[in-house]
Structure 1
């Protein structure tokens, strides 16, 4: 086991609260599954803020930021049946990881949290 990358991000929830009123912003930044899953959430600004921070933290862990083919809406933050968040690796993300780290055998660990004013995310990429 080897740590390949670490990323962290914190965001003011008020920034996202303003931005999510714009449908173009929503579709450019968030995946379809994230938008669908938000329908049953009462505090949408914190919901989307945590996911935004997770996307930023993931891009930092990969070491590329949002360039070289990595787009915000390629990264989907989903939860398992117990509520544990994870990043769903689609084909685009797998290709970026393979190109950067020369392996697909990577575990992605994600922790997200929020409070009234801020949301934070922490990502670790570990070689299996």
Structure 2
């Protein structure tokens, strides 16, 4: 059963401007430790590729936060939600800390898709619950 659906489109120019104002601190706020390492490698080779990576992760986390119904509050925090790649390259949501516990208590599973084009990054997330009796309103106790 579908628990929630989230989508987000991010203007890469906006990410570029935020990065220009705040520098690496902006990336450190948005990215998990694993993502930060990937971002640094990509940025070192090609700065524009690093910005696109940052924009897709920003967009994916926004879409995920909408799908779980909390927005960017409660258990949802930027660095606790990681968008990693499976061995074949497909993106996956990897959660950490309190967000991981909150998600597991509800028996949820996330599916994420992301893309970027010249000026935009977009993401779509579906969160499902195998047992509809476990579905609870965001912020409620299990």
CA RMSD of superposed structures (Å): 1.5
TM (normalized to structure 2)?
Answer: 0.80
Larger Rg: 2
Structure 1 gap segments, 5+ residues each: none
Q: What CA deviation, in whole Å up to 9, does each residue of 1:34-66 have, x standing for no partner?
A: 110123323111111010000000100010111
SS at match of 2:118: coil
Q: Secondary structure of 2:72's partner? A: coil
2:74 corresponds to: 68
Secondary structure at the aligned position of 2:9 is classed as: strand
CA distance in structure 1 between the aligned counterparts of 2:93 and 2:17, rounded to whole angstroms: 25
Structure number with the bigger relative contact order (C-alpha 8 A, sep ≥ 6) is 1
Structure 2: state its 5+ residue gaps. Answer: 131-142
- Partner of 2:2, secondary structure, is strand
Report what 2:18 is aligned to: 19
* Deviating more after overlay: 18-27 vs 46-55: 18-27
Deviation at 1:19, TM superposition (A): 2.3
1:124 to 126, 134, 142: 126
* TM-score normalised by structure 1 residue count: 0.88
In 2, the alpha carbon distance for the partners of 1:40 and 1:82 equals 19
Flag as ranges the 4+ runs of structure 1 deviating above 4 A: none
Distance 2:26 2:54 in 1: 11
SS of aligned partner of 1:20: helix
Query: Is 1:10 the counterpart of 2:9 in the alignment?
Result: yes
